[in-house]
Amino acid sequence: MDNNALHTVEARIREQITAHCESGDVPGFVAGVCHAGEQTIVAHGTANAATGAPMRQDTGFLFGSVTKVLTTMLVLQQVDRGLLDLDTPVVKHLPDFALTVPGAADKILVRHLLSHTNGIDADLFFPVAKGRDALKTYITGLASSCGSMFEPGEQLSYSNGGMIVAGRLLEVITGTPFPELLERDVYTPVGMKDSGTSAEQAILRSTAIGHFPDPATGAARPTGMFMLPDTWGPAGGTPVGTVADLLALGRTHLAGGVSPSGTRVLSTGSTTLMQQVSYDMATPNVPPMGLGWVRYPFGDTTVLAMSGASPGGVAILCVVPEHDLVFAAFGNTPGAIMLQDRLLQQLLRERLGVRIPALITGVQQDVDLTPYAGTYRSDQLRIDVRVVDGQLEEQAAYEPADASQERVFTAFTGGMTAAPPQRYVPIRAGLFAPAGYPPETFDGYLRLLLVSYHDIRDGRARFRNGGGRLTRRA
């Protein structure tokens, strides 16, 4: 990319970010693009509405689930070193790993942790613990609190629990606490010089906090919780860094595991393995899963991506190997994902010339809705689905296991414990779109808003998939 083209990209991103920040949609936003060796970072707005601190190009933020790429890299480093095998049962190295379903944990392989095919039903399990034993505490809690949603390898369901188990597995294999391992084996060799894993580190430099829209006024109010407990570190609870750090990470994956400074971080084989399809649900709302990466198809172009929610904020990292491009961004309200999706599609269309076809090209008439009505559950989540006026109406509610779980969950969501009823219109059998959205909404990252139903048995769907996560018919 020549400098003139880079300036054009920068100007377009600045225009979009400025409009969103000044309209009040998001207090602050920072985004970066690296293409063909040239890099630009743009920031605008406020990093912290409580202090008025500005969002800067080097402002840090919580990575959220972008961390899952890092955790996967750490596991595959141990595979490269011969200390782990992806097809080994996790309990071989982690004998304390158990679930409430007898024998379920014994069937889970290391590979299942990274490909989100493990079936661990722990997506909202938030034990509170700090320090060196945090992940050990999480594993102990699984055995008494969390079950299994499906047989390992049978389905795909986005799994925070799987990544946290992988983090504890790494501690046992290496004898090193996860935060130290992350800093030593990923941050340092990649060149992520401003990244850390604690609020204590974050407070020493410019760091953004999350915000939620005030129910009464709509104005952004600061989060009451900066980060999730240490028990969620490997899934994305604690790592903090900058857009420049994420661009360096993305460039490492473009270069087959070699960092921008020339340091080999991961073998070419393992870097390639992360990018290959490990499981495909064959439904438009759930892109094929690699290891760590989600593979978003935009026509004939694949975008390796991972987004990450934190309390009141959302980060994203996208790598486009076919076009030597990395895009990273953070916005400090949950709705910032809308702007991130728009910027990504803009880059693909305008900068790379990618044709993005419509994901929804037609609507099937007279879809039988009866197989989908019913109650679906996963860890502390209940979704009631009923047929109303030729549509599905869903009512989701959080059902906390105890007061501690409720405190963490409500802080993470800005006080929400139940969503308002949502109507869904049928696209075809088993696939539904939220009512009122134009079809082009779902062409990009926001295809995750679609809902699908799977495994029809005796005229009833066994699973519901929303946002890549399964709930099972009760």
Domains present along the chain, CATH in parentheses: 1-357 (3.40.710.10), 374-473 (no CATH)
Q: Which of 474, 472, 468 is nearest to 159 (CA)?
A: 468
Q: What three-state secondary structure class fits 416?
A: coil
For the chain, the average pLDDT equals 96
Q: What is the dihedral of CA 262, 266, 268, 271, to 10 degrees?
A: -120
Beta strand spans in 36-127 (E): 38-48, 53-54, 61-62, 120-121
Q: Are 437 and 444 in contact (CB under 8 A)?
A: no
**Could you report the per-residue pLDDT of 142-168, keeping only the tens digit for each?**
999 999 999 999 999 999 999 999 999
* Alpha carbons 43 and 468: distance in angstroms, whole number: 30
Query: Position of tokens 């198809």?
Result: 297
pLDDT, tens digit (0-9, with 9 covering 90-100), for 196-211:
999 999 999 999 999 9
pLDDT band at 7 (very low <50, low <70, confident <90, very high): confident
- Residue 302: both structure tokens together: 């694949």
Contacts of residue 417, Cβ cutoff 8 Å, sequence gap at least 6: 397, 398, 400, 406, 409, 410
- At 209-240, the pLDDT tens digits run 999 998 888 889 999 999 999 999 999 999 99
Tell me the CB-side half-sphere exposure of residue 150, using CA atoms within 13 A: 24
Chain-centroid distance of CA 430 in Å reads 24
pLDDT at 4: 60
**DSSP code for 291:** S
Which H or E run includes 168? helix 160-174
DSSP states of 321-390: GGGTEEEEEEESSTTHHHHHHHHHHHIIIIIT------S-----SS---TTT-EEEEETTEEEEEEEETT
Closest CA to 205 of 66, 44, 53: 53
Average pLDDT rounded to a whole number, residues 392-397:
96
